């Protein structure tokens, strides 16, 4: 991924958080380590990039990098010697201890450009236990003018000792109007109805909604929905439907099923469907919720959440068998 040198606050919901950080910087109260946490799709890496560009650019003014100096050109080319971005070598794999040891070597050196050194770790929760323990040394003794930015969608996977050594920057979801305005400005061909549905699927996270749009997620979701309706009505077997879903990104399928299950649990608990997030599938969810019962819904939700976590961590899973199992259990909800 190329490094972005931000010249303006292009993600408006980050305004208050940026003002908070920049005031610390201006007043000389900047922490040596920050934990950037919040829902996926809120632009945490973009925020970290902006911090790095402001700290490293020699002509930054009022929280804005110039974008044209030699430093900014090095940043854009991913060749700035005082910036280090640490990520898994392959998507879904852990950040290894060797990578953190390289980070320690980087942090111990003098900045080549005579200013700050910036280290970005994303996602920080991908560090294995050895890597996490190795990082503690750097967090305790980071060196002069060194700023460490740890990015995570959920901090529960981080050691408490790491979290306690970082100042937390909590990213919150924008209100619907802000998210809608930003998304439709980026994707001018989107209708308001489609933009609303995309934001709904993304839990109001605008960048995730934008990613869903480029993945044609609305059409894929409709395909998944038709398949779920068919399996619920016993019109197709789990084996057949699993084969039909093989080209679909399984993480999306499980995310949507978990979302629908969450709505069914609300329906079963509250006895009404007005609390449903997925308004377009409320009749089906109400029918299944009433047939299944709250205990069965909770059991399935817990099981499916574990499978989703295994999938995201690139566990040793047989994907065709996994999706067949998912569908068999889904069909079983209405057999009671």
* Domain interval for residue 309: 215-332
Helices 97-107 and 129-140 meet at what angle, rounded to 10?
A: 10
Mean pLDDT, residues 254-258 taken together: 95
18 and 167 belong to one structural domain = yes
Runs of H (alpha helix) within the chain: 15-26, 44-56, 70-76, 97-107, 129-140, 160-163, 176-186, 192-201, 206-214, 217-232, 238-244, 250-270, 282-292, 294-312, 319-332
**Of 137, 171, 205, the domain-final residue:** 171
110 and 30 belong to one structural domain = yes
148 occurs within a structural domain: yes
24 and 163 belong to one structural domain = yes
Three-state secondary structure of 22-78:
HHHHHCCCCCCEEEEEECCCCCHHHHHHHHHHHHHCCCCECCECCCCCHHHHHHHCC
How confident is the model at residue 114, as a pLDDT?
80
187 occurs within a structural domain: no
Cα separation, 44 vs 264, in Å, equals 31
155 and 293 belong to one structural domain = no
222 and 137 belong to one structural domain = no
Cα separation, 243 vs 240, in Å, equals 5
Share of the chain above pLDDT 70, in %: 96
Q: For residue 115, is pLDDT > 90?
A: no
60 and 164 belong to one structural domain = yes
How confident is the model at residue 102, as a pLDDT?
94
Q: How many domains does the chain have?
A: 2
16 and 161 belong to one structural domain = yes
CATH number at residue 273: 1.20.272.10
252 occurs within a structural domain: yes
**Of 171, 186, 207, the domain-final residue:** 171
> Per-residue pLDDT tens for 53-106?
999 998 888 888 988 999 999 998 989 999 999 999 887 788 999 999 999 999
182 occurs within a structural domain: no
CA 18 to chain centre: 19
Q: For residue 140, is pLDDT > 90?
A: no
Residues contacting residue 310 through CB under 8 Å, at least 6 positions apart: 317
310 occurs within a structural domain: yes
What is the average pLDDT value for the chain, to the nearest integer?
Answer: 91
Q: Are 305 and 265 in contact (CB under 8 A)?
A: no
How confident is the model at residue 294, as a pLDDT?
95
Q: For residue 314, is pLDDT > 60?
A: yes
231 occurs within a structural domain: yes
Mean pLDDT, residues 237-241 taken together: 95
Share of the chain above pLDDT 90, in %: 74
**Of 108, 138, 171, the domain-final residue:** 171
Q: For residue 13, is pLDDT > 70?
A: yes
How confident is the model at residue 315, as a pLDDT?
60
160 and 222 belong to one structural domain = no
* Six token digits for residue 314: 């690139």
224 and 102 belong to one structural domain = no
Mean pLDDT, residues 148-173 taken together: 95
Cα separation, 54 vs 302, in Å, equals 43
145 and 271 belong to one structural domain = no
CATH number at residue 154: 3.40.50.300
Place of tokens 């649990």: 265
Reported as a pLDDT band with limits 50, 70 and 90, residue 325 is: very high
Residue 11 CB burial class (10 angstroms; 0-12, 13-18, ≥19): buried
Q: For residue 8, is pLDDT > 60?
A: no
How confident is the model at residue 90, as a pLDDT?
83
221 and 162 belong to one structural domain = no
């Amino acid at each position: 991924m190329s490094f972005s040198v931000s010249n303006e606050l292009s993600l408006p919901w980050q305004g208050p958080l940026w003002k908070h950080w920049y005031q610390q910087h201006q007043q000389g109260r900047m922490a040596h380590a920050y934990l950037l946490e919040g829902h996926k799709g809120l632009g945490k890496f973009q925020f970290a990039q902006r911090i790095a560009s402001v700290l490293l650019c020699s002509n930054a003014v009022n929280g804005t990098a110039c974008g044209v100096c030699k430093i900014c050109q090095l940043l854009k080319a991913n060749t700035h010697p005082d910036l280090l971005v640490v990520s898994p070598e392959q998507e879904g794999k852990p950040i290894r201890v060797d990578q953190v040891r390289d980070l320690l070597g980087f942090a111990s050196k003098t900045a080549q450009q005579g200013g700050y050194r910036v280290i970005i770790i994303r996602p920080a929760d991908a560090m294995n236990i050895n890597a996490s323990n190795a990082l503690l040394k750097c967090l305790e003794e980071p060196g002069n003018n060194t700023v460490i930015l740890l990015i995570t969608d959920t901090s529960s996977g981080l050691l408490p000792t790491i979290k306690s050594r970082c100042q937390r920057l909590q990213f919150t979801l924008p209100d619907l109007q802000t998210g809608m305005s930003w998304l439709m400005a980026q994707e001018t061909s989107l209708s308001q109805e489609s933009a609303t549905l995309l934001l709904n699927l993304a839990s109001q996270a605008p960048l995730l909604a934008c990613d869903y749009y480029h993945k044609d997620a609305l059409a894929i979701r409709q395909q998944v929905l038709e398949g779920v309706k068919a399996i619920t009505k016993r019109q197709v077997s789990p084996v057949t439907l699993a084969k039909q879903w093989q080209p679909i990104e399984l993480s999306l399928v499980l995310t949507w099923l978990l979302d629908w299950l969450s709505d069914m649990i609300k329906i079963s608990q509250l006895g009404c469907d007005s609390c449903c997030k997925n308004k377009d599938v409320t009749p089906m969810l109400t029918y299944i919720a009433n047939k299944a019962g709250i205990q069965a819904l909770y059991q399935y939700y817990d099981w499916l959440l574990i499978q989703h976590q295994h999938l995201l961590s690139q566990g040793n899973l047989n994907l065709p068998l996994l999706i067949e199992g998912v569908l068999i259990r889904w069909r079983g909800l209405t057999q009671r």
